[in-house]
Amino acid sequence: MTLTTQFTTMLVLILCGLLIGAIFDVYKQLVRPHAFKNRLVIDSLFCGLVGVWLYYILFQLNGGALRFYFIIALALGISIYYALFQDIFLRFFAYFLNLLSACFRAIYQLINHVIVKPITWIVRVLAGIVVFVLSIVWRVIVTLFKLIKLLLAPFLPRIVKKYLKQFVETCDNRIRVVWKKLGLFIKKRRRAGDVQEEEKNG
């Protein structure tokens, strides 16, 4: 291994030390668990991946030869990061996360106001129209049935008239219960949507 190769390897390892320090801070902010057992497992996995990555870089630079001063160069890069660049990087990273969060909130609000709310309003209107039309149709059917029953009453036996009356009343009561439950469900969903909107705006 030539002197130039050794010098290049040391410079690259110093840069790798800087990068490892930054990656470890990102890992602590986003991935590292709080429980000790989970942290031990994830930290071991993180160190293993970093070790594989470092060996790949060494292999590309000098065929995988490891020297003691290479470890010193790596430690120097990590120390330089924590001494000079950690505060700057963490501020930048926090600003980036806040900016990303603001972008996601803006996209969510845009989708909610442009797509979700109009579709929800259309569904509510259509549901109201369907309920209104079906209720009118049912009332017309009941009225016609009562009219037919009235016209045919003189020709029908008493027991048939009794069962027809009970049948109509039962169907009418059940339909009314269904309409009432459907109306309550729509009102409940509407109130829930309004409460969620107030919480988001608040």
Task: State the pLDDT confidence band at 161, using cuts at 50, 70 and 90.
Answer: low
Tokens of 143: 């009225």
Task: Calculate mean pLDDT across residues 153-180.
Answer: 70
Tokens of 94: 């926090």
Dihedral sign from CA coordinates of 91, 97, 101, 106: positive
| Residues 32 and 43: beta-carbon distance below 8 Å | yes
Helices and strands in the chain, H and E counts: 6, 0
Task: State the pLDDT confidence band at 31, using cuts at 50, 70 and 90.
Answer: confident
| Residues 25 and 86: beta-carbon distance below 8 Å | yes
197 vs 143: CA distance, rounded Å: 43
pLDDT, tens only, 80-125: 999 999 999 999 999 998 999 999 989 988 888 888 888 888 888 8
Q: Give the pTM.
A: 0.58
